[in-house]
């Protein structure tokens, strides 16, 4: 159809005297130049000099609106490969130096040097400065009653305080910031359907506000990514 219109237009041009043809071509070229210039000014184009390992999409803006993820169902399954690689350095505040993951039945080291078989799916990313971004979901189903117990146990951790975050992270759910030995850890955890998800960021150089902000953005990304799988 486009070729037919082009041929008809050519025939109309050919029926005019040469001077009108030349004048018409000049007018069209000038109009095209003006339109192209306006489009270049109005179009934002790609982000300039975006660093490797960062995303031009910042994700949900927690400063603009509260987020309620309490009705988001999550599968109790491996999820590490689903996490956006561009989001990890942002959560860490530095490039990724190392990563690790384990699943149900894998042998994992516990505090004090003991070992046990895992009953969860977990991922850990370590930054160049020793910062960590982690997330894990229990493989067994968790009832609301069990979730309330898990939340109560978390509140017993020493050196931590509950924060009224802008994100409703599951139901029940809680946001915590812990400080000790020069390290700040901000975590979000909660029940999504029958899946208990915990997500956190640790940093031994940044302020509590900075770690909390990064943890909220990170944990929202993890939850929404798993929920969309």
Are residue 77 and residue 126 in the same domain, yes or no?
yes
Are residue 72 and residue 170 in the same domain, yes or no?
yes
Q: Is 109 or 21 the better-scoring residue by pLDDT?
A: 109
Are residue 23 and residue 117 in the same domain, yes or no?
no
> Does residue 54 fall inside a structural domain?
no
Dihedral sign, Cα of residue 52, residue 55, residue 56, residue 62:
negative
pLDDT surpasses 70 at 54: no
pLDDT of residue 140: 97
Residue 95 structural domain: 67-227
Are residue 197 and residue 86 in the same domain, yes or no?
yes
Are residue 34 and residue 80 in the same domain, yes or no?
no
Q: Are 189 and 177 in contact (CB under 8 A)?
A: no
- How confident is the model over 45-52, as a mean pLDDT? 32
> Does residue 58 fall inside a structural domain?
no
Model confidence at 34, pLDDT cuts 50, 70, 90, reads very low
pLDDT surpasses 80 at 17: no
Q: With DSSP H G I counted as helix, E B as strand and the rest as coil, what are the percentages for the chain, rounded to 5?
A: 35, 30, 35
pLDDT of residue 30: 34
Q: Is 197 or 66 the better-scoring residue by pLDDT?
A: 197
For the chain, the average pLDDT equals: 76
What pLDDT digit, counting tens, does each position of 170-216 carry? Answer: 999 999 999 988 999 999 999 999 999 999 999 999 999 999 999 99
Are residue 112 and residue 203 in the same domain, yes or no?
yes
What length is written for the chain? 229
Extract the tokens encoding 151.
């939340």
pLDDT of residue 171: 93
Are residue 84 and residue 192 in the same domain, yes or no?
yes
Q: Which of 12-21, 57-66, 158-167 has the lowest mean pLDDT?
A: 12-21
> Does residue 175 fall inside a structural domain?
yes
Are residue 34 and residue 115 in the same domain, yes or no?
no
> Does residue 93 fall inside a structural domain?
yes
CA distances from 205 to 134, 187, 218 (A): 17, 17, 18
pLDDT of residue 112: 54
Are residue 82 and residue 33 in the same domain, yes or no?
no
> Does residue 202 fall inside a structural domain?
yes
Q: How many domains does the chain have?
A: 2
CA distance 73 to 228: 9
Neighbours of 180 (CB within 10 A): 11
**Omega of the bond leading into 172 within 30 degrees of 0 (cis):** yes
Residues with Cβ within 8 Å of residue 41, at least 6 apart in sequence: none
> Does residue 47 fall inside a structural domain?
no
Neighbours of 59 (CB within 10 A): 16
What pLDDT digit, counting tens, does each position of 98-118 carry? Answer: 999 999 888 876 555 556 778
Q: What is the pTM of this model?
A: 0.70
Q: Is 107 or 119 the better-scoring residue by pLDDT?
A: 119
Percent of the chain clearing pLDDT 90 (strictly above):
55
Are residue 28 and residue 81 in the same domain, yes or no?
no
pLDDT of residue 101: 94
pLDDT of residue 48: 30
CATH number for 137 = 3.40.1000.70
Are residue 172 and residue 111 in the same domain, yes or no?
yes
CA distance 162 to 174: 7
């Amino acid at each position: 159809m486009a070729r037919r219109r082009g041929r008809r237009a050519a025939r109309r041009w050919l029926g005019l005297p040469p001077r009108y043809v030349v004048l018409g071509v000049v007018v069209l070229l000038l109009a095209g130049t003006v339109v192209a210039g306006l489009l270049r000014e109005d179009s934002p184009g790609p982000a300039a000099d975006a660093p490797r390992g960062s995303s031009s999409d910042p994700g949900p803006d927690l400063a603009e609106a509260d987020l309620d993820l309490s009705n988001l169902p999550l599968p109790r399954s491996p999820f590490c490969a689903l996490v956006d690689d561009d989001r990890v350095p942002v959560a860490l505040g530095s490039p990724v130096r190392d990563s690790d993951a384990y699943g149900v039945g894998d042998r994992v080291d516990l505090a004090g040097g003991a070992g046990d078989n895992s009953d969860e799916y977990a991922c850990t990313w370590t930054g160049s400065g020793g910062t960590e971004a982690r997330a894990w979901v229990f493989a067994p189903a968790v009832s609301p009653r069990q979730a309330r117990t898990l939340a109560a146990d978390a509140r017993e951790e020493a050196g931590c305080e509950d924060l009224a975050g802008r994100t409703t992270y599951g139901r029940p759910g809680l946001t915590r910031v812990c400080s000790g030995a020069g390290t700040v850890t901000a975590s979000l955890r909660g029940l999504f359907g029958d899946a208990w998800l915990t997500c956190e960021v640790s940093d031994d150089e940044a302020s509590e506000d900075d770690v909390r902000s990064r943890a909220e953005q990170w944990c929202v990304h993890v939850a929404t990514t798993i929920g969309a799988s």
